[in-house]
Amino acid sequence: MAFFTHQVCRGLSSSAVRAAAIKHVTIIGGGQMGAGIAQVAASTGHTVTLVDTSDDILKKAVKGIEGSLKRVVKKKFADKPEAGEEFIQKVLQNVSVSTDAGAAAQSSDLVLEAIVENLKIKQDLFGRLDKLAPTHTIFASNTSSLPISDIASSTNRLDRFGGLHFFNPVPMMKLVEVIGTSATSQETFDSLLNFSKALGKTPVSCKDTPGFIVNRLLVPYVLEAIRLHERGHGSKEDIDIAMKLGAGYPMGPFELSDYVGLDTMKFIMDGWNEKDPDNPLFAPSEMLNKLVAEGKYGKKTGEGFYKYK
């Protein structure tokens, strides 16, 4: 994938050099996604600084990483417990924590954001870090629905800004969507591709279009399943079974919605509908809106389309 840039003349040879230089990664956001990315990066020999707003959040994140690593060790080092414990300690040594994003960014080759899906908050974060991070530092967002170009607009490094969309749970999911805007340099894009490969992931190239590839296909599919049920053309149970047995999907659309979070599904669809209100694929769902209004977000609240209590 080629992107227009004043730096394209540097060519692919320098891209490989830049990719190799991504050793120190700052991950902002100690939630499930940020901690998962931190674990994978630390496991592949990268020096990681995990940043969040409080020490309590960071302690919980590190504890979660350690617990996840123990589950990995049970499988990979079943017959070598000492080697497994050594692996855990080595990975944890690659992770440091901080509540100061600006200080962390000053020594980073890559700053990756995995915080709340709020455009202004993301813009404010990167706008501030843009003044503090070294010139060579690449910025990236793990957003699943917001345009990368809109987030990048708060900085003066449009050529060194892209998207790295990981999937949950990060240690298990192999895919990474690598997103480039019209301003992302080829050098930056190749660096993000190579970094993803260095993590042991399989990257796919995406343009900065709503939902990129996976969510652009997945979210309208889920919403159409909900509309099918709203019209009385199938029960949620039968629709889920049909897609699992007929299409070979591991989860049906209603099970998947509950797993992802109905509030997340609504947030994504509302954003797309606002930008393209005439697109029937992005039309809101009365049933989804009602469940979210009632606080029934899915598994994380104990009830969504199904009950989990």
**Confidence band (pLDDT; 50, 70, 90) for 3?**
very low
Query: Is 308 inside any structural domain?
Result: no
Query: Are residues 75 and 131 located together in one domain of the fold?
Result: yes
Query: Is 304 inside any structural domain?
Result: no
Mark whether 233 is an active-site residue.
no
Q: DSSP letters of 136-164?
A: T-EEEE--SSS-HHHHHTTSS-GGGEEEE
pLDDT at 1 over 70: no
pLDDT at 18: 42
Query: Are residues 144 and 240 located together in one domain of the fold?
Result: no
Mark whether 46 is an active-site residue.
no
pLDDT at 247: 97
Query: Are residues 168 and 225 located together in one domain of the fold?
Result: no
Query: Are residues 166 and 251 located together in one domain of the fold?
Result: no
Q: What is the pTM of this model?
A: 0.87
User: Which residues does residue 49 pair with via DSSP β-bridges, in sequence order?
Assistant: 26, 96
- CATH (domain of 188): 3.40.50.720
Phi and psi at residue 159, to the nearest 5°: -75, -20
Query: Is 86 inside any structural domain?
Result: yes
Query: Is 34 inside any structural domain?
Result: yes
Query: Are residues 13 and 33 located together in one domain of the fold?
Result: yes
- CATH (domain of 246): 1.10.1040.10
% residues pLDDT > 90 (the chain): 86
For the stretch 122-133, pLDDT in tens is 999 999 999 999
Query: Are residues 134 and 153 located together in one domain of the fold?
Result: yes
Query: Are residues 182 and 233 located together in one domain of the fold?
Result: no
Domain that holds residue 255: 216-298
Query: Is 305 inside any structural domain?
Result: no
Q: Which of 15, 108, 145, 177 is catalytic?
A: 177
Q: How many separate domains does the chain show?
A: 2
Pairing of strands 47-51, 95-98: parallel
Query: Are residues 23 and 85 located together in one domain of the fold?
Result: yes
**Binding site as annotated, residues for CoA:** 68, 75, 144
Query: Are residues 153 and 12 located together in one domain of the fold?
Result: yes
Query: Is 306 inside any structural domain?
Result: no
Query: Is 170 inside any structural domain?
Result: yes
Q: How far apart are CA 237 and CA 179, in angstroms?
A: 35
pLDDT at 17 over 50: no
pLDDT at 78: 83
Half-sphere exposure of 212 (CA within 13 A, CB side): 28
Q: Which of 15, 215, 257, 285 is catalytic?
A: 215
Question: Which of 207, 236, 268 is the last residue in one of the domains?
Answer: 207
Tokens, residue 10: 């540097």
pLDDT at 272: 92
Q: Which of 43, 141, 154, 165 is catalytic?
A: 165
Closest Cα to residue 3, out of 177, 159, 192? 159
Question: Which of 177, 207, 237 is the last residue in one of the domains?
Answer: 207
**Binding site as annotated, residues for NAD(+):** 29-34, 52, 117, 122, 144, 168, 300
**Confidence band (pLDDT; 50, 70, 90) for 161?**
very high
Mark whether 86 is an active-site residue.
no
Query: Is 273 inside any structural domain?
Result: yes
Mark whether 177 is an active-site residue.
yes
Q: Which of 15, 141, 144, 185 is catalytic?
A: 144
**Binding site as annotated, residues:** 29-34, 52, 68, 75, 117, 122, 144, 168, 300
| Number of alpha helices (DSSP H) and beta strands (DSSP E) in the chain | 13, 8
Question: Which of 207, 224, 242 is the last residue in one of the domains?
Answer: 207
Query: Are residues 88 and 114 located together in one domain of the fold?
Result: yes
